Amino acid sequence: MKADHCEADHCQADRHTADRRTADPRGVLTGTHFIDGDHACCEGALAAGARFAAGYPITPSTEVVERFAARVPKVGGTFIQMEDELAASIALQGAVWGGAKAFTVTSGPGFSLMMEHIGYAVMTETPCVFVDVQRGGPSTGLPTLPAQADMMQARWGSHGDYEIIALCPNSPQECFDLTITAFNLAEEFRVPVMFMMDEVVGHMTEKVVIPPADEIEITPRRHTRKSVEDYLPYGTNGDGVPEMAHAGEGYNFHVTGLTHDERGYPNMTPPVQDKLVRRLQSKIRNAADRICLFEEEQLEGAEVVVVSYGITSRVAQRAIESAREKGLRVGKLRLITAWPFPEKKIRELAAKVKAFVVPELNLGQMVHEVQRAADGQAKTFAVSHAGGGVHKPEDILKVIVEASKCRIV
Amino acid sequence: MSDSLVTEITNAGNPVDAILRTDRMPHIWCPGCGIGTTVNSFARALIDSKIDLGSLALVSGIGCTGRVAGYVKLDSFHTTHGRAIPFATGLKLANPNLNVVVYSGDGDLSAIGGNHLIHAARRNIDLKVICVNNLIYAMTGGQTAPTTPGHSTTSTNPYGTFEPSFNLPHLVEAAGAVYVARWTTFHVRQLARSISEAFKKNGFSFIEVISPCPTLYQRRNKLGDALDTMKYYKEKSKIRNGSPTGEAGLTMTGEIIVGKFVDRDRPDYGTMMRAQYADALGDEYVEQDQREHDQTENDQAEMVCS
């Protein structure tokens, strides 16, 4: 960080820029690879500094931890296969408090079992990553076939009010790049980050370029440098994210899933609940502009905008191009961050376009968010799919054509 | 008692204050509850065995005993219901230098957390588990637990229980624990000694402490108050070190077999893991401690640079 860029107001926000480091080269497999999304995700985790994973086998995600189990003893870390997903999703949090960067990997049925511990990570502000390689549901559903039907579960699956971050890669390269982003965001905001892959992206093999370690930026843990006397485990400054200590460092801190005060002590009163839960929410919402990543194309002058994410964005690309060949003015907005939802971006677009078309491998999830953010300024069209395959581009095209004919009331 | 004597005693404090978060007192436990007694024995064991408190972490689940984590002046984790053991497993693996204690209740550890209990014992992960067994789900109002003896009256078996109950020492021995003991809250010194012994073991250690819940178990089963329960523990407990755990089942009013039942050695999870990796990978194996050491050096180097 250059000192002349640090104005007083920004010092707090820039603290982490100042602390940014580059990846430990021992975890980085620099080079050009031909690997699938699951393997790329594993390499992203290793590059990000993950040295602990706990998992339980489940298709189509298991390749991530299989690779991790083979790689991690050579870089100084641990993989443990736990007895179930409940155990995996809390063992990783124990590891985080022991000083590791940690994650777990699963798919729908296992993701369902992990919900309680997503809430625990939110409440205790345990930085960690949950990878969900989505398959068709409900229940056992389609173990080997894709869906994008866990998007609302990722956002709302645990009880209570909270915010998480969720990212949606659409290629093996992004499985690598965005896994690193996921770990960085987890550390910056002390929040569990959901890495929402899908079966196709997980099993699709493409070129993945892994850069040299010194070109990979890593957000370190917000480890406290305060003295034992001065340290308040859940005390915060301007950005609402507390500093962390690890077990065994002499801080004698307490961590609980109960509503707690700045000391980390249980305090189950409405004022403390209000302060805590609002802070857990606002630390993410206030930074939404920075967290929300998206890819946009030809939005200027567009009448219809196709909003998609994950594998569906690649099918939608074909439909968008076909529509443009027909002379339609179609823009593309690909959500890379699904949560927090980029509602500001949608709201801005809604004032300018006639309609949004939202294809997704579910019967309508993120489309409701688009509709909410559009707030009646533009129409919203879902292109649903129950999962088990991907859309046919012509099915999306048909809705784009229909949407382009609509009139704004 | 004279006022001056009261002042003197108050000022002297409790000998185990150093282990307690005195700023969190009074605690939530009922009069006559045995959990505080077990904490006293635990604290004395820590003091007696001169354990490095800075490298000791305590992990609890949910329930009355789950609240122990909040009252000890240690790095302490009050986790989710049943999941203290897997949390502790991750903590121990990430930092093998920590001494990790799991302190929780019978319902938390053997019902909702039962799967984790047996697998941790099977793996022989180096955890010291203290299980306070009050024979009931107390926090929620006295429902039947897997440990509730037959024919007990509970809020969910108002006409008496009829399910067979778990004999926890037998269960964890079968699953692979290297140290298994049982005491009651009458046996405060023996309990402290067992906890000290467990700290010397390398592997999965399990100490069950039979403890009264006068509010919900003793009262509902007309077993008297806390003092009556102490008398029962005193009169009906039989110390049988080395007793076969299969013979240590509990009944509502019968004999309570207590003592150190199992004390054996086999390599713990971490030792086996390191040996296997070293054997399979040779020089390619990077031990975690080495990495941490390097990392610390890097951090220091960076701090010097900046």
For A90-137, what is each residue's pLDDT tens digit?
999 999 999 999 999 999 999 999 999 999 999 999 999 999 999 999
Closest CA to B197 of B125, B117, B259, B244: B259
pTM more than 0.80: yes
Question: Which of A21, A71, A78, A104 to probe by mutation at the B interface, max B CB count within 10 Å?
Answer: A78
pLDDT at position A3, please?
33
Average pLDDT, chain A: 95
d(CA A317, CA A298): 12
Q: Which domains does chain B have, with CATH numbers?
A: 12-266 (3.40.50.970), 273-305 (no CATH)
Torsion of CA A194, A198, A203, A206, to 10 degrees: -80
- B57 contacts in chain A (CB < 8 Å): 247-248
The number of C-beta contacts closer than 8 angstroms across A and B is 156
* Closest residue, chain A, to B98 (C-alpha): A248
Given the candidates 3.40.190.10, 3.40.50.920, 3.40.50.2300, 3.40.50.300, the CATH classification of the domain at A295-405 is 3.40.50.920
* Closest residue, chain A, to B69 (C-alpha): A254
- Tokens 């005491």 belong to which residue? B183
pLDDT at position A9, please?
36
Walking along chain B (306 residues) 10 residues at a time, the average pLDDT comes out as 72 87 96 98 96 96 98 98 98 97 98 98 98 98 98 97 97 98 98 98 98 97 97 98 98 97 98 98 86 46 40
Sequence ranges of the domains in chain A: 12-218, 295-405
* Closest residue, chain B, to A103 (C-alpha): B90
d(CA A371, CA A377): 9
pLDDT at position A20, please?
66
Inter-chain CB proximity B94 and A96 less than 8 Å: yes
Residue A222 is encoded by which pair of tokens? Answer: 């917000």
Q: How far is A88 from chain B (nearest CA, A)?
A: 7
What ipTM does the predicted assembly reach?
Answer: 0.94
Q: Which CATH superfamily is domain A12-218 in?
A: Thiamin diphosphate (ThDP)-binding fold, Pyr/PP domains (3.40.50.970)
Can you give the C-alpha Rg of chain B in angstroms?
Answer: 21
Closest CA to B91 of A69, A93, A221: A93
- Say if CB B218 and CB B212 are below 8 A apart: yes
Asked if the domains A12-218 and A295-405 are classified in one and the same CATH topology, the answer is: yes
